[in-house]
């Protein structure tokens, strides 16, 4: 029997929504990754192993061949460009949007760069450049919504789901930058060497996705 295919999975919301889909596809972990401190899990059928990690690390693991397959959000793939892999499938789960947001009634300042707080600096830089808007990007790790309230930024670029957090902090969503969903990426060498196994797995996930 060949060694298990290694699947790197984005922890958090994607993991929560992915596990039922994987089970429908016949891929069940021997332990529940949601309740364990472990990061590496064998599957019941022993054909796969699942490793749970931060989304930003998944393109690295897949490009370098430490993982055969990666499952993460499109926002991660856009934010960390330059890695070499195949993007093979849109699973359609963990849907959201990357958007600009600003205080309600906000008017863009003139005569100076727009100050934008975000953790998505690559996505934001590309978007504002395409709009012809000069910006000063302020990289934050989280809680973007308070940046305009504290006078740190004029606008933010962030993930928007329901918009309730924005509303609670006196902000409103403005421009849509991109729609986001969960994608399957594959190591180039793995696809050549283990084509049948990987294609079979992708087909199972495609059927489970519906």
Res 109 pLDDT > 90: no
pTM summary value:
0.93
Per the CB < 8 A criterion, the answer to whether 205 and 26 are in contact is no
Which domains are assigned to the chain? 5-94+181-209 (3.40.190.10), 96-179 (3.40.190.10)
pLDDT digits (tens, 9 = 90+) for 115-130: 999 999 999 999 999 9
What pLDDT score does 173 carry?
96
pLDDT digits (tens, 9 = 90+) for 1-22: 589 999 999 999 999 999 999 9
| Cα-Cα-Cα-Cα dihedral sign, residues 106, 107, 111, 113 | positive
Tell which residue, 164, 108, 149, 105, has the closest CA to residue 131. 108
The rounded distance, in Å, linking the Cα atoms of 10 and 153 is 29
- Tell me what the pLDDT averaged over the chain comes to: 96
What is the arithmetic mean of pLDDT over 52-69? Answer: 98
What pLDDT score does 108 carry?
85
What pLDDT score does 114 carry?
96
pLDDT digits (tens, 9 = 90+) for 14-43: 999 999 999 999 999 999 999 899 999 999
The rounded distance, in Å, linking the Cα atoms of 210 and 203 is 11
Whole-number Cα distances in Å, 5 to 22, 165, 171: 14, 39, 44
């Amino acid at each position: 029997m060949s060694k298990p295919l290694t699947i790197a999975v984005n922890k958090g919301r994607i993991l929560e929504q992915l596990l039922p889909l994987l089970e429908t596809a016949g891929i069940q972990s021997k332990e529940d990754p949601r309740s364990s401190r472990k990061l590496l899990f064998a599957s019941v059928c022993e054909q796969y192993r699942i490793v749970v990690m931060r989304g930003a690390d998944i393109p690295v693991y897949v490009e370098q061949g430490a993982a055969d397959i990666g499952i993460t959000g499109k926002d991660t793939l856009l934010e960390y460009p330059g890695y070499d892999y195949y993007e093979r499938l849109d699973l359609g789960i963990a849907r959201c949007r990357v958007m600009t947001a600003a205080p309600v009634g906000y008017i863009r300042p003139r005569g100076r760069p727009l100050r934008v707080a975000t953790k998505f600096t690559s996505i934001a830089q590309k978007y504002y450049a395409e709009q012809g808007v000069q910006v000063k990007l302020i990289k934050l790790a989280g809680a973007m919504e308070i940046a305009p309230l504290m006078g740190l930024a004029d606008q933010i670029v962030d993930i928007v789901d329901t918009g309730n957090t924005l509303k609670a902090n006196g902000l409103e969503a403005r421009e849509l930058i991109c729609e986001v969903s969960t994608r399957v990426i594959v190591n180039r060498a793995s696809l050549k060497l283990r084509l049948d196994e990987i294609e079979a797995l992708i087909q199972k996930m495609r059927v489970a996705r519906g």
